[in-house]
Amino acid sequence: MERELVVEEMKNISTSNSLTQSPHDSNRTPKSPFSTKILTSPLASPMKKALTYMEEIGHLTKLHDPDQDDWLPITESRSGNVYYAAFHTLSSGIGVQALLLPLAFITLGWILGIISLSLVFMWQLYTLWLLIQLHESAPGMRYSRYLRLSIAAFGEKLGKILALFPTMYLSGGTCVTLIMIGGSTMKIFFQTVCASNRHITTLSTIEWYIVFTVSAIVLAQLPNLNSIAGISFIGSISAVTYCTLTWVISVIKERPQGVSFEPVENKSDVARICSILNALGMIAFAFRGHNLVLEIQGTMPSSLKNPSHVPMWKGVKFSYSIIALCLFPLAIGGYWAYGNLMPNGGILTALDKYHGEDTSKAILGITGLLVVVHCLTSFQIYAMPVFDNWESRYTSNKKKPCPWWLRTGLRVFFGCLAFFISVALPFLPSLAGLIGGIALPVTLAYPCLMWIMIKKPKRYSPSWFVNWSLGLLSLVLSVLLVFGAIWTIATQGMEVHFFKTQ
């Protein structure tokens, strides 16, 4: 009933606006649907009442499809706040892929590594700001999904081509990787805790994958993105703690013998360039979560007086301040501690390899447990866009919300599918550089280009020049990163084994 009243009031306002608008003004989009001239006319009284009413209930900005949005996991609850935004952003923006950052420094070295990490961090923070502003860029419309914003900017066909596969790949691929890392870490944690008890038989790696997947599926039964705010809070604390523990232990312990910071020699200049590109891909892969920022902002109420971009940006600034305090010490401290001796598994593998004997089992066990907890919590937020996309197909066809049994079935099916892929393709973590190159446009290019297409800044203005430059540069860099990663895999080789987990 409340929604019907709001819709009726908005229709009345729109009619009044059209009656008082001159032909010259009809070709322009006003800055606000409520102009000062109209508000001072005899029609002002009922319009002010409608405006006040809509402000009170917080629905001045309409949704993409009000009925359907009320049924989908991302937008069915809009009671989020700045704290929820910070928890979700921190949990999704930092993860186990950051543990590979010291590995990138082996190729880049100190100066180029720090410069590259700093530039990518500032670049992706800028594109985050663009997405937050674009969330309500069109009058009366909220784009609570990356795909819908892409369609609004590039058109129906091109928008889907550019955004559908990368965003779903980032969500699904990240969940697969989390199963692999979480399950493997569960096994290591169990072995660390129960090392003294020889009578306990440990599970195989695949069996630990099953344990992790079942736990993730159980947590995935929470209905919507707002309902997992507490889980994201736990995941944020876990991520910050294990990142800090990892680099602090590595720095305070005595460095292994033979540590060197000399650049790795390559057989040719082409190999050198491709190695650098692959390292840049690892850095790009460390900054993920852009495919979720619109979804997170979509869980917040928005009105003319209190637009959602204000608390969302506050939450992002807070969370990325903490992310910076984790990633930079992790990369710099890890490289200082192990240098060119850093194994392919990253700093966590190095810690176990070089300090597994002289470090307290309790600390190692806690670190492993925190990694598992964060993997479980990150699985929930990255799986939510997939759940939302699948349910939207049902609600579009049936014009009604998904029944509980179908929602449960879809989430169980997704968990089983992710588990199958993790078992079938156990070499996926070795493709970090390639994945980073493929995902780079979603993070660095598309937001800049979407800003130009939607906001239409004046030609050759600073905004026009900066966004065109960054967008095109990111696309070129993405192609180079993919090429560099493929070249590195082809020349250095990669152990490909299907259905053979280690």
The model's pLDDT over 434-461, given as tens digits with 9 standing for 90+, comes to 676 777 888 888 999 999 999 999 988 9
The DSSP annotation for 11-41 comes to HHHHHHHHHH--TTGGGS--SSSS-HHHHTS
- In terms of pLDDT, which residue wins out, 250 or 431? 250
The DSSP annotation for 126-185 comes to HHHHHHHHHTT-STT----SHHHHHHHHH-HHHHHHHHHHHHHHHHHHHHHHHHHHHHHH
pLDDT at 489 over 80: no
Q: CB-hemisphere CA count at 13 Å for 43?
A: 18
Share of the chain above pLDDT 70, in %: 79
Q: What is the pLDDT of residue 199?
A: 66
Lowest mean pLDDT among 75-89, 161-175, 230-244, 323-337: 161-175
Predicted confidence (pLDDT) per residue in 320-364, tens digit:
999 999 999 999 999 999 988 888 778 888 888 888 788 888 888
Q: What is the pLDDT of residue 217?
A: 95
Instruction: State both tokens at 494.
Output: 């990669």
Q: Which of 95, 467, 52, 107 is nearest to 285 (CA)?
A: 95
Q: Which of 336, 123, 87, 370 is nearest to 230 (CA)?
A: 87
Rounded CA-CA distance 59/218 in Å is 33
- What's the gap between Cα 454 and its chain centre? 22
Q: What is the pLDDT of residue 480?
A: 82
Rounded CA-CA distance 346/358 in Å is 19
Q: Please, which pLDDT band fits residue 499 given cuts at 50, 70 and 90?
A: low
- In terms of pLDDT, which residue wins out, 25 or 490? 490
Lowest mean pLDDT among 50-64, 251-265, 418-432: 50-64
Rounded CA-CA distance 478/351 in Å is 32
Rounded CA-CA distance 334/250 in Å is 7
Q: Whole-prediction pTM value?
A: 0.81
DSSP state of 466: H
pLDDT at 23 over 50: no
Q: Please, which pLDDT band fits residue 429 given cuts at 50, 70 and 90?
A: low
Instruction: State both tokens at 356.
Output: 């597994």
DSSP state of 21: -
The C-alpha angle with vertex 150 and arms to 147 and 151, in degrees rounded to 5, equals 90
Q: Please, which pLDDT band fits residue 34 given cuts at 50, 70 and 90?
A: very low
pLDDT at 317 over 90: yes
Rounded CA-CA distance 402/391 in Å is 7
CA-atom Rg of the chain in angstroms: 25
Q: CB-hemisphere CA count at 13 Å for 339?
A: 12
Q: What is the pLDDT of residue 28?
A: 37
Lowest mean pLDDT among 51-55, 166-170, 209-213, 245-249: 51-55
Q: Which of 117, 108, 123, 118 is nearest to 473 (CA)?
A: 123
Mean pLDDT over the full length of the chain: 80
Q: What is the pLDDT of residue 286?
A: 79
360 and 276 Cβ atoms separated by less than 8 Å:
no
Q: What is the pLDDT of residue 130?
A: 94
Q: What is the pLDDT of residue 78?
A: 87
pLDDT (mean) for 118-143: 89
- Please classify residue 482 by burial: count the beta carbons closer than 10 Å to its beta carbon, then call 0-12 exposed, 13-18 middle and 19+ buried: buried
Instruction: State both tokens at 435.
Output: 């994945």
Share of the chain above pLDDT 90, in %: 32
Q: What is the pLDDT of residue 4?
A: 47
Lowest mean pLDDT among 15-24, 82-91, 478-487: 15-24
Task: Give the number of other Cβ atoms within 10 Å of residue 208's Cβ.
Answer: 23
142 and 62 Cβ atoms separated by less than 8 Å:
yes
Cα 39 to Cα 31, 33, 53, 95, 112, distances in angstroms: 14, 11, 15, 51, 58
440 and 477 Cβ atoms separated by less than 8 Å:
yes
- The count of residues in the chain is 502
Q: What is the pLDDT of residue 487?
A: 75
Rounded CA-CA distance 439/283 in Å is 12
pLDDT (mean) for 215-233: 92
pLDDT (mean) for 230-251: 92
Q: What is the pLDDT of residue 348?
A: 83
pLDDT (mean) for 148-157: 90
Q: What is the pLDDT of residue 363?
A: 87
Phi, psi (5° rounding) for residue 424? -75, -35
pLDDT (mean) for 491-497: 63
pLDDT (mean) for 131-160: 88
Rounded CA-CA distance 364/348 in Å is 10
pLDDT (mean) for 480-499: 70
Rounded CA-CA distance 239/337 in Å is 21
pLDDT at 427 over 90: no
Q: What is the pLDDT of residue 50?
A: 45
Lowest mean pLDDT among 49-53, 124-128, 197-201, 262-266: 49-53
